[in-house]
Amino acid sequence: MSVQVRIPASMACLCDGARSLEADGSTVAEVLVDLRRRYPHLGVRLCDEAGTPATFVRVFVEDEVDIRALQGIDTPVRTEMRLHVLAGAAGG
């Protein structure tokens, strides 16, 4: 099952400049595993060692609902669904 994943501009350099990727999985966790497998450098920035989104990363379903308000990484996804990854900025 393939879903579209929008990647922030700050991470596009980690996946050959792509801002939108196709990934397979029936849950957010499986999609993240597929992205980590295909784009290891992106995977390091997206997820912690346990495979959950890094502290500064937010994942939204259909660009609207944060997965934390749903079932977290166990949130089911279906074909042609869109996930949107946002990365927080830090500094001072």
How far apart, in whole angstroms, are the C-alpha atoms of residue 43 and residue 90?
A: 20
pTM comes to: 0.89
Query: Which residue ranges form the domains of the chain, and what is each CATH number?
Result: 2-87 (3.10.20.30)
* CA angle (42, 31, 11) in 5-degree steps: 25
CB contact at 8 A, 64 and 83: no
Banded model confidence at residue 52, pLDDT cuts 50, 70, 90:
confident
pLDDT value of position 91: 58
The residues, ordered by sequence, that sit 6+ positions from 87 with a Cβ below 8 Å of its Cβ are: 8, 10, 11, 45, 56, 57, 58
Query: Which helix (H) or strand (E) is 4 found in, with range?
Result: strand 2-6
pLDDT at 73 over 70: yes
